Amino acid sequence: MLLDATDPHDLFAAWYAEAEASEPRVPDAVQVATVADGLPEVRTVLLKAFGPEGWWFYTNLGSPKALQLAAHPQVAVLAHWKGLERQVRAWGRAELATDEEADAYFATRSRGSQLGAWASRQSEVLPDRATLQERLAAVTERFAGQAVPRPTFWGGYRVDVQRLEFWQGRPDRLHDRVLFTRFDTGWRRELLYP
C-alpha cells in the first residue's frame, strides 16, 4: 500500500482506519511540536478531524501551545502507531479553526469534558486538587439543566499540511519511507532511504 500510494490523504485515512481497529486506546493521539523562545516544545493532543483541508485539534486558547502558535504558527505533528510499526510525520501552518468548527466539535464532547473546559485554567499553577473540584462544582451548578456552551477561550486549530512522511517498520531496519510535498500543482512523492 505505502510504496504504491499517490495521494497522502487517502493513505493517511487508510492507516488511521487500521489504527482505530488495532490500537484500542487512543489511535487519535498525536504529538504537536511548537516553538517557544527559540526552543521546540512537544505535547500530545487528540487529532479530531483530518483530510485534504487540514488536520484539526482543539485546546484552551490561553494554553502555552496556543500562545506559541500565535507567535510561530509553523508546527510539526507526529502520529505513531507502535503496534502497526507505523508513523506519519506532518509539517504545516496552524490556523485558528472557525467559531462554527469549534462550536460543532465542542457540542460532540461529553458533558464532563465540556464542564472541564470551563473549570480548567489549562497549564496554570493549581494550588491543590480541591480548587479544581470547587471550580468544577461551580460550573456544574451554573449550567445545570442546560446545554454547556463553548467557552470563548476554547477553540481549535487547523493545520494546513504541506509535507507528510509515512514510515513503515520492516525487519533489519530496512524500513519503507515515503515523503509527500505539496506544490500548487499537486503532491510530489519521493522514496527515502530508511
Tell me which residues are annotated as active site: 173
Characterize the bridge pairing of strands 49-51 and 39-46. unpaired
Calpha distance 155→173 (Å, rounded): 41
Calpha distance 173→101 (Å, rounded): 41
> What single DSSP character describes residue 146?
S
Grid coordinates belonging to 145: 439543566
Residue in 38, 35, 32 with CA at minimum distance from that of residue 157: 32
The CA-CA-CA angle for residues 156, 52, 69, to 5°, reads 30
Q: How buried is 26 (Cβ within 10 angstroms: 0-12 exposed, 13-18 middle, 19+ buried)?
A: exposed
